[in-house]
């Protein structure tokens, strides 16, 4: 506790008053980082006890590159008072907050205090306050108000309030009336006036204050209000695109962004800022292959923040080699209704592009190394197809490939027009085959196979069988007479061929069964064997059917299943103790009379 003595004169008498004043310590520093207050101290001088001083202005300015928030304000003793915008207030970079401080002593003594502005982060911005209370002065006659401090113009962002203050002298009581653009503001009757939250519609509004007492009035100069739009941080709307260039060429990258102007740009390469690359577009110097896969980004900034683009990749290729065709497209022959495919092969620096043309006209969508036509008609016979191969270094055009389109033909031919079975024992059967061949250039579909004549039948070819051009199917005809005598018949093969139906005539004779046999004998093997297997076939060269169920030790065999009028073919094999069978012997044949 510190005691001071104050002496002053009232009505010619001297009075001494000792008052105890508690000295307070500051709550914080005058400036924090780049947030500063002006002035840092306010001295009200001598003020009559019980009367209020003129208000004095205190301004806080944000010099940071990011916003700060003033959350509250306090003063250490009640003789000092503060008026200003409602808190909290957010100050963007470059913005200020203006308040007003007044002094009303309650006793004749010296006062010291602190006006403390508290930031949202907890730090304090302080202003030292000083004043001295004095006794009541002698009564003197009124004089009229005089404005000693004019209201200052203010600049705010839409959504914030603005505070205007005035200081005046004159015989109390003084009355105040604020006006906006010449119109009085209801309730604005103090030395300070704080607006509602403003909009850009109030930009350039003018505020004045009229100060009055019983002796007269005075009107202040006009204070201008500037209301700006809120600052919007940058947002990237178009990312820079990756580029591919040939060594020796430049590459250009472009970024587009929204946000409150002015926007600033900084391009970086592989994370390092590029000197002088400060516009929305950056063009590299002539590149080398050493910069292949380099990564480029752009940072866009304004006073509200910044945004960084995605990475754009630079691909630098070796100097380009023009295309050269290594395999020409080959001419094609197709049947009407079929497609044709043409292929080209080329060398050159990638990427290679392709464009096929027909009779000199570009074919829409035919842009690969292979082109397959739609189903063709004979109208496209002798059409010429070429392909142009291109890259950044040049282009090459192929030789012409000729398309031949043949009309569709449907022919089904049989290898024999008639089959004769000769004499066949009653109650037995004989088989003969005929080949059905597609001799046209289009697929043939067999729709039906019919057989006429007693004892005749056919198998091997079913309805719905499709034969491609050149394909053949084997039809097996069977004759199984039920009695003695000559029999005739036919097989009719119906299809979509132009020569349908294909008819094969049949002839055979049934004879009474006569027992026949063929006796076979052979020289024994010079090797040690456990026996022999005997085989027979109805045609020379096989296939052969084994007649013995197991090897027999004898060097002879009698076939009693033969029929008159037929020729049989025989072979024999030897089998050793490991059950390994030898190759066929020489074939012998026997015609049964």
146-228 belongs to which CATH class? mainly beta
Per DSSP (E only), the strands in 398-481 are 401-406, 412-414, 418-425, 430-438, 444-452, 456-459, 466-467, 472-479
Domain with CATH 2.60.40.10 in the chain: 2-134, 146-228, 235-317, 324-406, 412-511, 518-591
518-591 belongs to which CATH class? mainly beta
pTM: 0.35
Q: Can you give the pLDDT of all 593 residues of the chain as single tens digits? A: 333 333 333 233 323 222 222 222 233 333 445 889 999 999 989 998 988 888 899 899 999 888 889 988 887 888 888 888 888 888 889 888 888 788 899 889 899 999 898 898 888 999 999 989 897 554 555 789 999 999 999 999 999 999 999 999 999 999 999 999 999 999 999 999 999 999 999 999 999 999 999 999 999 999 999 998 888 999 999 999 999 998 899 999 999 999 998 999 999 999 999 999 999 999 999 999 999 999 999 999 999 999 999 999 999 988 788 999 999 999 999 988 899 999 999 999 889 999 999 999 999 999 999 999 999 999 999 999 999 999 988 999 999 999 999 988 888 999 999 999 999 888 889 999 999 999 988 899 999 999 999 999 999 999 999 999 999 999 999 999 988 999 999 999 999 998 999 999 999 999 877 778 999 999 998 889 999 999 999 999 999 999 998 999 999 999 988 887 889 999 999 999 999 999 999 999 999 88
Q: Coil, strand or helix: which one is 290?
A: helix
324-406 belongs to which CATH class? mainly beta
412-511 belongs to which CATH class? mainly beta
Domain 2-134, classified CATH 2.60.40.10, yes or no: yes
Which spans in 5-161 are helix H? none
Backbone CA torsion sign across 461, 464, 465, 470: positive
- Answer whether 150's CB lies under 8 Å from 210's CB: no
Q: State both tokens at 504.
A: 């094969």
Beta bridge partners of 83: 100
Fold for domain 235-317? Immunoglobulin-like (2.60.40)
The count of C-alpha atoms lying within 13 angstroms of the C-alpha of 234, restricted to the half-sphere facing its C-beta, is: 22
């Amino acid at each position: 506790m510190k005691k001071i003595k104050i002496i002053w004169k009232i009505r010619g008498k001297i009075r001494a008053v000792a008052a105890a004043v508690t000295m307070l310590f500051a709550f914080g520093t005058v400036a924090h980082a780049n947030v500063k207050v002006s002035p840092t101290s306010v001295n009200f001088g001598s003020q009559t006890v019980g009367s209020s001083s003129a208000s004095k202005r205190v301004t806080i300015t944000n010099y940071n590159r990011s916003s700060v928030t003033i959350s509250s304000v306090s003063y250490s003793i009640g003789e000092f008072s503060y008026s200003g915008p409602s808190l909290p207030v957010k100050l963007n970079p470059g913005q200020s907050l203006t308040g007003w401080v007044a002094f009303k002593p309650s006793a004749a003594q010296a006062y010291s205090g602190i006006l403390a502005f508290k930031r949202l982060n907890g730090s304090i911005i302080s202003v030292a306050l000083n004043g001295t209370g004095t006794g009541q002065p002698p009564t003197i006659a009124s004089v009229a108000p005089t404005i000693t401090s004019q209201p200052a113009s203010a600049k705010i962002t839409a959504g914030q309030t603005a505070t205007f203050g005035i200081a005046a002298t004159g015989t109390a009581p003084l009355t105040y009336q604020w006006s906006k653009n010449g119109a009085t503001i209801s309730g604005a009757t103090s030395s300070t006036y704080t607006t509602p939250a403003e909009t850009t519609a109030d930009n350039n509004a003018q505020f004045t204050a009229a100060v009055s007492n019983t002796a007269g009035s005075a009107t202040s100069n006009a204070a201008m209000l500037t209301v700006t739009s809120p600052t919007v941080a940058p947002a990237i709307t178009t990312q820079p695109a990756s580029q591919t260039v040939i060594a020796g060429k430049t590459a250009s990258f472009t970024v587009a962004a929204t946000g409150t102007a002015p926007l600033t740009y900084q391009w970086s390469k592989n994370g390092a800022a590029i000197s002088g690359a400060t516009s929305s577009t950056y063009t590299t110097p002539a590149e080398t292959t050493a910069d292949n896969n380099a990564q480029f980004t752009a940072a866009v900034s304004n006073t509200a923040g910044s945004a960084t683009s995605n990475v754009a990749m630079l691909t630098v290729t070796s100097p380009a080699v023009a295309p050269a065709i290594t395999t020409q497209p080959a001419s094609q022959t197709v049947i009407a209704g079929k497609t044709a495919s043409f292929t080209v092969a080329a060398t050159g620096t990638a990427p290679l592009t392709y464009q096929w043309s027909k009779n000199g006209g570009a074919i829409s969508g035919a842009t690969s190394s292979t082109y397959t036509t739609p189903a063709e008609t004979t109208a496209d016979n002798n059409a010429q197809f070429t392909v142009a191969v291109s890259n950044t270094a040049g282009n090459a055009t192929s030789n012409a490939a000729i398309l031949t389109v043949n009309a569709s033909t449907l022919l089904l031919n049989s290898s024999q027009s008639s089959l004769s079975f000769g004499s066949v024992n009653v109650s037995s059967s004989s088989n003969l085959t005929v080949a059905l061949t597609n001799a046209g250039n289009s697929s043939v579909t067999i729709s039906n196979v019919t057989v006429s004549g007693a004892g005749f039948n056919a198998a091997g070819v079913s309805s719905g069988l499709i034969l491609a051009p050149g394909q053949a199917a084997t039809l097996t005809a069977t004759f199984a007479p039920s009695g003695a005598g000559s029999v005739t018949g036919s097989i009719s093969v119906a299809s979509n061929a132009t020569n349908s139906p294909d008819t094969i005539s049949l002839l055979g004779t049934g004879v009474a069964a006569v027992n026949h046999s063929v006796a076979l004998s052979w020289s024994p093997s010079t090797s040690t064997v456990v026996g022999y297997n005997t085989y027979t076939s109805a045609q020379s060269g096989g296939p052969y059917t084994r007649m013995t169920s197991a090897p027999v030790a004898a060097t002879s065999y009698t076939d009693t299943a033969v029929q008159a009028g037929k020729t049989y073919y025989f072979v024999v094999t030897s089998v050793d103790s490991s059950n390994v069978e030898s190759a066929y012997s020489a074939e012998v044949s026997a015609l049964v009379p």
